[in-house]
């Protein structure tokens, strides 16, 4: 794993005013040095909102009876992605709640179709699965697995009913990396009761995991969750965390998440300004999108127009190389054993 000399302080994560501006400028310069002015553009399709987990911070928790649960159809998703995806998209992220049924019945066939018909890079965000299913997804053509560790403290992880246990989550992240996946993880900033030392611990965890990228999502209270009346995350913590991740690992792919726009005015642009270099267009069909409730129902949907406008406003450009292809090119060449020859 690469070694870098920066590690954030509590004052970095709480920075405001001039100090914050300087932190974000340093992060943007680090991104520019590593990636130039290019930002990766992917699309997400959310294909199932069934979830076996009961996370206190997520609107799709299994105890939320207000949702109309859905699993998309393969033909619907294939038609959308093969014939109606925006021209700027180089990669597709397929996302579900923790729903192994959808993984087998929908996600695997969809990956096979995309791999057969397109050159798109394929990411998945599906939760923890059996090892053999990870292998099947990889064999079908996916190469990037998004698995967030969510919280860096085991007791808080359990208290908020995050998926499984923190130890299990970290075990699966390491397992995926060992099996050849490019793994992106992430955490939530500003959960109720979270302190700056708590937030700082997330960076230790992210640094020590075998990751290719990491995200930070602001806590946004969901209406049908046990945390509905809690306060939203401090916006400064969120955007300072983006910059801290960039300075911690200049080579990481760090997404601007749609919830940035719920955290602050022009939040998406602020995320790019703070050092993010991946944007995501939401292609989930309108008839099911409202029931894919990660935060709350009044989501800020990032269309191609909004994404490209944000990139342009920050004087950046869409990447010409896809995310999966970028990772493939970055892999070190295999070391070939010398062949002995005899005279």
The domains of the chain, with CATH numbers, are 10-330 (3.20.20.70)
Spatial distance between the Cα atoms of 329 and 201, rounded to a whole number of angstroms? 32
No. of helices (H) and no. of strands (E), the chain: 15, 8
- Classify residue 323 as exposed, middle or buried by CB count within 10 Å of its CB (0-12, 13-18, 19+): buried
pLDDT at 22 over 90: yes
pLDDT at 276 over 60: yes
pTM comes to 0.94
Q: Kindly report, residue by residue over 202-253, the tens digit of the pLDDT.
A: 999 999 999 999 999 999 998 889 999 999 999 999 999 999 999 999 999 9
Q: Kindly report, residue by residue over 141-198, the tens digit of the pLDDT.
A: 999 999 999 999 999 999 999 999 999 999 999 999 999 999 999 999 999 999 999 9
Give residue 339's pLDDT band: very low, low, confident or very high (50, 70, 90). very low
Least confident among 29-33, 182-186, 292-296: 292-296
Spatial distance between the Cα atoms of 115 and 156, rounded to a whole number of angstroms? 40
Spatial distance between the Cα atoms of 284 and 287, rounded to a whole number of angstroms? 9
Spatial distance between the Cα atoms of 23 and 68, rounded to a whole number of angstroms? 43
pLDDT at 86 over 50: yes
Spatial distance between the Cα atoms of 221 and 170, rounded to a whole number of angstroms? 25
Which three-class secondary structure state does DSSP give residue 182? Answer: strand
Which three-class secondary structure state does DSSP give residue 215? Answer: strand
The secondary structure element, H or E, covering residue 216 is strand 213-218
Q: Where is pLDDT greater, at 194 or 300?
A: 194
SS3 percent helix, strand, coil of the chain, rounded to 5, is 40, 15, 45
Smallest Cα–Cα separation from 104: which of 72, 61, 136? Answer: 136
Q: Are 183 and 145 contacting, i.e. CB atoms less than 8 angstroms apart?
A: yes
């Amino acid at each position: 794993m690469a070694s870098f000399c920066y590690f954030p302080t509590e004052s970095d994560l709480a920075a405001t005013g001039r100090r914050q501006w300087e932190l974000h400028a340093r992060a943007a310069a680090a991104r520019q040095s590593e990636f130039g002015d290019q930002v990766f553009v992917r699309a997400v399709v959310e294909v199932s909102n069934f979830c076996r987990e009961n996370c206190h911070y997520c609107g799709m928790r299994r105890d939320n009876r207000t949702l109309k649960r859905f699993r998309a159809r393969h033909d619907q998703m294939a038609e959308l992605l093969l014939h109606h995806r925006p021209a700027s998209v180089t990669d597709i992220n397929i996302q579900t709640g923790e729903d192994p049924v959808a993984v087998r019945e929908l996600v695997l066939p969809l990956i096979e179709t995309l791999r057969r018909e397109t050159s798109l890079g394929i990411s998945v965000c599906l939760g923890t699965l059996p090892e053999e299913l990870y292998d099947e997804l990889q064999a079908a053509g996916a190469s990037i697995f998004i698995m967030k560790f969510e919280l860096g403290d085991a007791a808080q992880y359990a208290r908020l009913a995050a998926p499984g246990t923190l130890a299990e989550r970290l075990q699966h992240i390491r397992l995926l990396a060992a099996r050849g996946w490019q793994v992106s993880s992430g955490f939530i900033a500003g959960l109720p009761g979270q302190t700056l030392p708590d937030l700082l611990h997330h960076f230790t965890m992210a640094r020590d995991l075998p990751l290719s990228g990491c995200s930070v999502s602001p806590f946004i209270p969901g209406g049908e969750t046990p945390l509905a009346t809690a306060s939203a995350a401090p916006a400064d913590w969120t955007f300072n965390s983006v910059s801290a991740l960039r300075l911690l690992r200049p080579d990481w792919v760090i997404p601007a998440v749609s919830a940035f726009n719920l955290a602050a005015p022009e939040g998406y642009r602020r995320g790019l300004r703070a050092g993010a270099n991946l944007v995501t267009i939401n292609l989930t069909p309108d008839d099911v999108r409202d029931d894919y409730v990660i935060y709350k129902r009044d989501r800020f949907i990032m269309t191609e127009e909004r994404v490209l406008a944000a990139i342009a406003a920050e004087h950046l450009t869409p990447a010409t190389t896809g995310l999966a292809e970028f990772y493939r090119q970055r892999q070190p060449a295999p070391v070939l054993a010398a062949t002995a020859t005899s005279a």
